[in-house]
Amino acid sequence: MNIGKMRRSAGNYSYHQVPAGELEEENNEMTEHLKEKIGVLKSLSIDIGAEVKYQDKLIREMDEDFERTGGFMGNTISRVIRLTKASHNYYIFYLFVFSIVIFFILYISLKFR
């Protein structure tokens, strides 16, 4: 015995008879559609997780690079300060040569980037 279900129309409040098999088929279609959406969301969340890990790795590498550069610059500045406090008569010449070398290195690194 196939008993039909009552379904309300979208536009008005009247009900009409829908066969039970049609409801089951519609539920199966909706279930498949939902499975597809869940698969897309899962794939998207995996991609987001991979991107977050990649960005975290880049940030850590940048942090390490900044720390190394900061240490290098600190050592260089301490050498320049030590040079200016020395009793050499050529400290301005050394400072000038050092500045020229630094500007040359920056020029080469920015030109060939």
83's CB contacts (< 8 A; 6+ apart) are 91, 94, 95
Quote the mean pLDDT of the chain.
82
Q: Which tokens is 34 given?
A: 């939902």
Give dist(CA 68, CA 74) in Å, integer.
Answer: 10
- Per-domain residue ranges of the chain: 5-88
Highest mean pLDDT among 1-10, 50-59, 82-91, 93-102: 50-59
pLDDT value of position 21: 77
> How many percent of the chain have pLDDT more than 90?
37
